[in-house]
Amino acid sequence: MSMRRARIGVLVGLVALSASRWPAAAQSSVDLSHGRLDVLYEQAEFLDDTSRDWRPLRTNARELRDIPFGIPMRTVPEGLDEPERAVTNLPAITAIQPVVQSKSDSRVHWMPAIMQSVYYTGIMHAFRTVTEPGTRDALNGPWLQNYAQSLSELRGWSDGDKFMAPYVGHSIEGSVFGYILRQNDPRFRNLQWGDGRDYFVSLLRSMAFSAVWHTQWKIGPASEASYGNVMLHASPGFITLADTPTLGTVTMIAEDAADRYLTMGLENRTGNRMLIILARCFLSPGRSFASMMAFRAPWNRDTRLGLFGLDAEIRKELLSEYKAGLGPKPFTFERRSSWDNGVEFDRTYPKEAPIELAAFQVYESFLGGGSCIGGGGSGAARISPTLQVLAEVSGCLVLHMPQFNQSGDSLFYGGGARWTPRAARKLSPYVEVLFGGRKVTHETDDAALRNKLMKEWNDGSGTLGHFPMRKDWSVEVAHNGPSIALGGGVDVVMTKAFAWRLVSVQYTHTRMGDVDMIRPQDGVRVTTQAVLRIGTW
């Protein structure tokens, strides 16, 4: 230990000589927002005394670990018993200065974010073009007319896909768009699960960005509706508009947690490069795809050492020292400092959330017979400690239709007010009323006719000139009418940021007649909701 302190003392003592002999030495900088000293070995550069050429130099990792940042220093080659003999021969390490970002550095790089989102959208369209004959066929029709007609078909909740597409595939799609924004946002680029308020602020920004780009993917000018006219051939539900950004945000949380607890734990146990690459890619598919859209390796991690070159050698040394009990874990989570550059300010946040965003599952029983199940989303803004204004969109698929070829769905949209007399408490009961409209659709498919038309089309090589549209083999009846929902429930505040709307029960009344055998005039809705509370942290 005394020899170690002597070496460090000599290093610090040589500051003046280093500064005077090489005053023009270039300076290297590294982002130390996560406090990881390991990045020193990744980004420090060394100037040779004689040639003045830049070259990497290996040194003892444990000795560098204790050297403070922000000072010029020299390193003593290992095995040298008399450090002072190296005064005239040692290479100099340039100063390592923390990067202090200005407010101008915090602006989102919008052009790269937009271009990467365009790349991802183009890849998805290319996949559809290759794998879907109907998409290729629709390219031959009148574009604007088919696009407008496709948009007019948007209705209901279900889009006809099985579980994996809307609840897994679209969730990953939402996370890709979310990570694209994060990697182009200097303020939040290197966030990790556990970084507190900044982490959740970043999630909200990513969710908004994801919502905009998935809406474009669904109904925008370069969308499924405009390119391939999906809604003319398949069930045109709202489900993906609601679940892609919300479940995509949940997917981002899961990926970040897996990276911190699983992938980082693996990297503290093995230096196997292929195993680490596979773990990073498969446990974080959204982040990996977003990295590729920026033309970076899918396994890239800005918060940890790389996997190749000098970084790989340093990884092996740190890992061997840790396994031998000579050093700490190579990779640990350290909560980053706040955006205020380490200065903490006392802030007083309201206990009543100024803004609440909710995603929920819904079950509705029609009192005239029948029921439906689905989901939706809502947003609420507080205008007083006890009063909120809110808006909601939800939909459900009608169950227990009498024939297998019949289907129905219900879409509710509206706004209203919510009274919350105990909003500052852990248990918060409420009463709400919403006014809006309801669209109910009943559809009868002729499966035999559809199969006949598909055979006649034969992927474009048959006698039928176009891909069969839904209107060719399906009969639809739809009614739209004013609707009201009145009810209440109770919130359980889990954390400052989240609450669970344990149960909400509403009576619904809609002014419309029967839609074939669906009787939606009166019903009882039951929901359970996950609530994101904004402004309380």
pLDDT in tens, 437-455: 999 989 898 889 988 988 8
Same domain assignment for residues 261 and 394: no
Residues 6+ apart with CB under 8 A from 68: none
Q: Edge-to-edge strand order for the sheet containing 54-55? A: 54-55, 46-47, 92-93, 73-74
* Neighbour tally for 233: CB within 10 Å: 21
* Residue pLDDT, tens place only, 378-393: 999 999 999 999 999 8
* Residue pLDDT, tens place only, 61-100: 444 444 333 333 333 444 444 444 334 343 333 333 444 4
Same domain assignment for residues 359 and 405: yes
If one compares 357 and 431, the residue with the highest pLDDT of the two is 431
Same domain assignment for residues 17 and 118: no
Q: What is the mean pLDDT of the chain?
A: 79
pTM of the model: 0.71
Q: Are 80 and 59 in contact (CB under 8 A)?
A: no
Q: Is the pLDDT of residue 170 over 80?
A: yes
**Which tokens is 209 given?**
């960005």
Highest averaged pLDDT of the listed ranges 227-231, 432-436, 517-521: 432-436
Domain of residue 94: give its range. 2-102
- In a domain, residue 484? The reply is yes
Same domain assignment for residues 87 and 111: no
- In a domain, residue 157? The reply is yes
Of 425, 430, 394, the closest CA to residue 412 belongs to 394
% of the chain with per-residue pLDDT over 70: 77
Same domain assignment for residues 39 and 121: no
- In a domain, residue 334? The reply is no
* Neighbour tally for 139: CB within 10 Å: 12
- What value does the mean pLDDT take over residues 28-50? 38
As for how many domains the chain has, the answer is: 3
Query: Alpha-carbon distance 117 to 247, whole Å?
Result: 18
Q: Is the pLDDT of residue 466 over 90?
A: no
Same domain assignment for residues 113 and 76: no
Residue 32, helix vs strand vs coil: coil
pLDDT score of 346: 60
* Residue pLDDT, tens place only, 145-169: 889 888 887 776 667 666 677 778 8
Same domain assignment for residues 94 and 116: no
If one compares 84 and 304, the residue with the highest pLDDT of the two is 304
Write down which residue in 102, 137, 169 finishes a domain: 102
pLDDT score of 32: 36
φ, ψ dihedrals at 12, nearest 5° = -65, -35
